[in-house]
Amino acid sequence: MTDPTFPAPPPPSAADSVDGLFKGLTDLTFTKFITIKFAAVIYVIIGIVTVLAWIFAVISAFRAGAGLGVVALLLGWIFPLLSIIFTRVYLELAVSLVRTAQNTSRIADKA
């Protein structure tokens, strides 16, 4: 249900988002937030790096010895999984803080 006194803004285009990203990066007053735009990219990069580090650790452990390799294979996934979980929680916290700030700013502008 839409409120006729506050019409919905038009959806941003790809050019607007790129332009907004560069404006956000150069905004020294920190009034434009870019956290939401980067959150998904950061999550994917950290996930890929974490999995690659785990694979490298397993390969290195097998080179050191078969027993160590089996232990790394069976138990080595715990730290990468926790790392990805904590990254997700941190990014959700950051995005929620930014959205709270944006919504508070909109409320303050209406008053």
* Contact in structure between 35 and 94 (CB atoms under 8 Å): yes
Any domain includes 108: yes
Is 10 a residue whose pLDDT tops 70?
no
For 16-38, what is each residue's pLDDT tens digit?
A: 556 666 777 777 777 777 888 88
- In angstroms, the CA 2 to CA 78 distance is 46
Residue range 41-52: average pLDDT? 95
Is 79 a residue whose pLDDT tops 70?
yes
Is 7 a residue whose pLDDT tops 90?
no
Beta carbons within 8 Å of 78's beta carbon, 6+ residues apart = none
Is 80 a residue whose pLDDT tops 70?
yes
Any domain includes 47: yes
- In angstroms, the CA 16 to CA 12 distance is 6
Total tally of structural domains belonging to the chain: 1
Beta carbons within 8 Å of 88's beta carbon, 6+ residues apart = 43
Any domain includes 103: yes
